[in-house]
Amino acid sequence: MPVSKRFVRVRRVFRKIRWAGVVLAAGKSTRMKSSLPKVLHKICGAEMIRFPLTAVWGNGVDDVVVVVSPDARQLRALLKDTVEYAVQNTPRGTGHALLQAGPLLNKRMPAPQSRSAFDHILVLNGDLPLIQKATLSRLMLQHISSGCAMTILVAEITRPEGYGRILRDKNGDASKVIEDKEADEKQQAISEINVGAYCFRSDWLWQEIKKLKPSASGEIYLVDLVESAAKSGGVYTVQTTDASEAIGINNRVQLADAEQVIRRRIRERWMLDGVTIMDPASTFIDNSVKLSQDVTIHPGTHILGKSSVGPNTSLGPYALIRDSKIASSCTISQSTIEGSVIEDGVDVGPYCHIRPGSHIEKHVHLGNYVEVKNSRIGERTQSGHFSYLGDATIGKDVNIGAGTITCNYDGTAKHRTVIEDSAFIGSDTMLVAPVKIGKGARTGAGSVVTHDVLPGQTVVGVPARPLEKKSKR
């Protein structure tokens, strides 16, 4: 039967098969030299464990068990009830870790049944952030197609140090995986390595895993099942099309290597979706960011956290956007925006800092060295130069003169400043909060405003007083 027709048939069968997933995440952070569990170290703004889990869920495997250490409070707080947890009380290797998931996966079948509740088990190391959904899909399909008891993901890499090597018999079939620390000189020269992703026929797995014996180090290796499968149910190997998927994270050098790969994938995905990135090498985009078509990103720009950017917006050069929503047709140059909302047509920078809690309405202009904190600025308002607007509510069509400061802190508490529509704030005005500037009111240059200003009124001086009207001759 032609390969394409065979896979169509396999896919139809595949939909009826009951799969469970197991992610092994009980390892310590010893080589990371960190108090934070290894799988919680972040890559492109997301915890490492999220990447393999997303790939598993992406293949329709909803029943997932994560094997954790007894002190996995942080990991449980992160994943909550999206998975089930099996505890490996003593770190005795990957084979022992998988064995801990057995009771959870088998409890779902009524007691009289002797078989597992699932037909096949997908097992993945939790420190494989570069594994992709399509690769796991191919691994699972090949596993079903081959009919073998075990299918293993392998890769050819130029520097195999630290990885288990694939040993093959005279027929070219996988016969054993030898761990790096137990391999002799000839075996260490082998470039084909075990990635750390496996598929098992469930009935075979739970019988054979109980037979595994501890190694010389006392650990029970999951890969020892390869030798068992070679003698009984058969072993099938699937090679990665991208060798970078094999990068496992044991130290911060490998963490940085993985970060580079994922950042490249993120940039390429957005460019293929219609985003212009002038200099990909100097552009940093987190995994959780959402971009629209015709966004232009200039060199040195960072877009981080849960940020989104609307169409026809230009960012940078050297802009930093974190956890912010930026709408369409905005221009953000050499400025920092954190935890804020920027509406359509806003022009920011250079050298502005929009701090958390701010909301900038449509067609606002914020020029050089303007700092905004926890404030709302109304439509078409302009602040062109050197101003601090903190804890303020500013209306529409307001002009903020250069050097304006909202004096929001009295040494004990923060107070708000309110500036109503069409007000004109003169250069070097100090607005001592709490204070309200009425609609259409004006302040003279250098004024220190300590009391509310009525609508249409003009105040000048230190402290600011209403400007007296000249008498008619």
Task: Give the pair of three-digit tokens for residue 176.
Answer: 């054993």
Selected catalytic residue, list 359, 363, 385, 415: 385
Could you give the C-alpha distances from 98 to 86, 209, 355, in angstroms and in order? 9, 9, 46
Question: How far apart are the C-alpha atoms of 13 and 397, rounded to whole Å?
Answer: 65
Could you give the angle at the alpha carbon of 335 between the alpha carbons of 329 and 340, nearest 5°? 70
Q: Which of 155, 165, 171 is nearest to 230 (CA)?
A: 171
How does DSSP classify residue 439? T
Classified as helix, coil or strand, 184 is coil
Token pair 């002190």: residue = 71
Between CA 7 and CA 17, with CA 12 as vertex, the angle to 5 degrees is 110
Q: Residue 470 has what DSSP assignment?
A: P
Q: Is 145 left (phi over 0), alpha (psi -120 to 50) or beta?
A: alpha
Confirm whether 415 is a catalytic residue: no
CA proximity to 197, closest of 132, 280, 266? 132
Q: What is the DSSP string of 358-394?
A: -EE-TT-EEEEEEEEES-EE-TT-EEEEEEEEESEEE
**Cβ within 8 Å of residue 385, ≥6 positions away:** 367, 368, 369, 370, 402, 403
With b for 16 or more beta-carbon neighbours within 10 A and e for fewer, the 68-104 pattern comes to bbeebeebeeebeeebebbebeeebbbbbbbbbbbeb
Catalytic positions = 385
